[in-house]
Chains A and B, each alone.
Chain A
Amino acid sequence: MMDVSEIFVPENTIKTLTMPEDIVHGGSYTATVHVAKGASLMIVETLQETAPCAVRLTVRLEGEGAFVVDTSRYQGRENAVLDIERVIVHVAPFTTSRVDARGILHDASRVLWRGRVIVEQGAKKAQAFLRHDAILTGAHALADAAPFLEIFTDDAVCKHSASVRRVEPAQLFYMKSRGVAEEDARNMLLEGFLKI
């Protein structure tokens, strides 16, 4: 079942959103968060999925100086299909957004990750950073990532980065040379990758 919600962060307040607990329990949700002037929004998302799920979150930075930090960590197992979407809209000047999403795909799980940062013409001096990193461990896993930037003003600094990586053989070798078994070393490195 899909749950749709609107969340408002009033002027000069700080709100922490822990997901999925704060929105709805279970697989899928859609939410729009409106962040007012001087307000800060912290999003902490942790997903451990074994079944299909869809998460669509839109954050609108509507007031001057609005700020969002979005930290997302996900793991897919078995036949999970994670459909994750983030839309960050910079409407007002001096707004800042940081999206940091990381995930590991085990077994035959798949992720469809879509990120979109839109900086509207009025959002002068906006700063945006969008990143998504994934590691594939499952032989039949798939990562399909597309972090978009759409910039309609010149007076903004926007960056994004995306990667799909493996467990670095050199790091693995280092751990093994210190006497850690390969399986343990791999798990430690994966755990480290997800550390916030």
Chain B
Amino acid sequence: MISYEDRTKYDAADEVQERYRAGFGVSEELVREISLQKNEPAWMLEKRLRAFALFLKTPLPQWGPDLSGLDLDKITYFVRPNANESTSWEEVPENIKRTFDRLGIPEAERTTLGGVGAQYDSDVVYHNIKEEWAQQGVVFENMDTAVRNYPDLVQKHFMTSCVPINDHKFAMLHAAVWSGGTFIYVPPGVKVAFPLQAYFRMNAERGGQFEHTLIIADKGSEVSYIEGCSAPRYMTSALHAGCVELFVGEDAKIRYSSIENWSLNTYNLNTKRALVEKNGTIEWVNGNMGSGTTMLYPSSILVGEGAHSESLGIAVAGPGQNQDTGAKAIHVAPRTSSVIRAKSISRGGGIASYRGQVRVGRRADETISHVTCDALILDSASQSHTYPYIKTENTNSDISHEARTGRIGDDEIFYAMSRGLTEERAIQMIVGGFVEEISKKLPLEYAVEFNRLIDLQMEGAVG
């Protein structure tokens, strides 16, 4: 069992030498500066500037959790740590390495994960991919490098058809100041057996992290990608506005897993979306444990006949947290299907909300969609909300939604305690069973870390 103090290991800030640090706030000069420092092609700068102009004109969203505490002028939008990208672990500077060591990253690498890309503030400092995959043409790159090395692929897919730059205010901001992230391309027919992984960590005070993940799975390919996120704790609020774009080609399959554990002062306003072609499959596994306010709704747009989406999410809202998460499935083509399973735990005054949408277009004949939400409320100060939206225009489809909210039954706790467990251990065990469906889908080291995080979250849940 881990003591409560352990949570601070994710919240501790390191003193890292920064190579470049922008001032507070975002401006056109800053956008140009980022693009210049990254030596980007003209089309990317033009895209950034267009997005920035739109950002200035767009108001904050008026729905969902309160964002009034977020001061966009008090955030550093671009910080580069003092290290160039390395391909071997030894070259990474000592103090950056120490941070990752504490989070257990190199172990994960050693245990045959396909490759590692870790994002420390705004630049990817470490990147590796098994040679075997590289020979088959699998590209696993830092997004900045990909812009220069794979201009055709990137220009075609980067914030165009999946998440356009004018999607919403934080997508606009992201497009203007994005930095780092991961680019994966899997050629037709290649099946990547081990999951690829990256770890993001936000360190600079009032730092923003705007990483961009772009995964293209070509016809008949398969890839699994894992992302872990953690940010150290600071007094002033930080913002994470990342963007994930997944292109699932014909008969292809992507599994995207992410465990997000930002520090409590972070606003996690993330955009994740997948475009799924004919007979393609997208699997989302999402765990949200950290951050003060989260707004995250991974979406699947099923544009090809027979496309399938599976979404599994868990949100844990502790004291002071507002987890507004959910999933979206947009059925455009016939015979598409989607399954959404959402679970949430709220305790200590936390608010957990499921906000989801299922849309079925007129052409989407014989669509099947099922949504299940389960919520656990552990004490009377906490809240749990469910906001499912269903919009259908098709006469030949089957859409259903069910949700249940409740607390752990006294008889369940009594039973476990009669077998010799303490009340706290009994609750931990029941909660462990509640989230098992998610941890089962994760690779072992992640499942261990995930379970540990859940246990940490549950500490002090009694009395």
Contact = CB atoms under 8 A, between A and B. Distances in A.
A139 B395 contact: yes
A163 interface: yes
Interface string B370-393: 000001011110111111111111
A128 to B, nearest CB: 9
Nearest to B387: A148
A163 B400 contact: yes
Contact of B401 (A121, A150, A155, A163): A163
A166 B396 contact: yes
Given A146-B389, A148-B385, A163-B401, A136 B407 contact: no
Contacts of A156: 405-406
A84 interface: no
Contact of A149 (B382, B394, B403, B407): B403
Contact of B380 (A121, A136, A137, A149): A121
A69 B386 CA distance: 21
A159 B378 contact: no
A13 interface: no
B398 A165 contact: yes
B407 A154 contact: yes
Q: Which of B384, B387, B400 has the most CB of A within 10 A?
A: B384
Contacts of A148: 385-388
Interface string A27-67: 00000000000000000000000000000000000000000
B156 interface: no
The secondary-structure label for the interface of chain B is: strand
A161 B370 CA distance: 11
Interface in A102-143: 121, 134, 136-143
Given A144-B390, A150-B385, A158 B406 contact: yes
A165 to B, nearest CB: 6
B382 A154 contact: yes
A164 B405 contact: no
Nearest to B378: A154
B404 A158 contact: yes
A149 B387 CA distance: 7
A143 B390 contact: yes
B383 A146 contact: no
B362 to A, nearest CB: 8
A147 interface: yes
A141 B393 CA distance: 6
A153 interface: yes
Given A148-B386, A153-B380, A159 B405 contact: yes
A145 interface: yes
Contacts of A166: 395-398
A161 B400 contact: yes
B402 A136 contact: no
B355 to A, nearest CB: 10
B454 interface: no
Contact of B391 (A121, A137, A143, A147): A143
A146 B356 CA distance: 10
A138 B379 CA distance: 46
A124 B407 CA distance: 12
8 contacts: A137-B395, A141-B393, A142-B393, A156-B406, A159-B405, A161-B401, A163-B400, A165-B399
Interface of B: 360, 375, 377-380, 382-407
Listed from nearest, the 6 A-B pairs whose CB atoms lie closest are: A154-B377, A163-B400, A161-B402, A162-B401, A149-B386, A164-B392
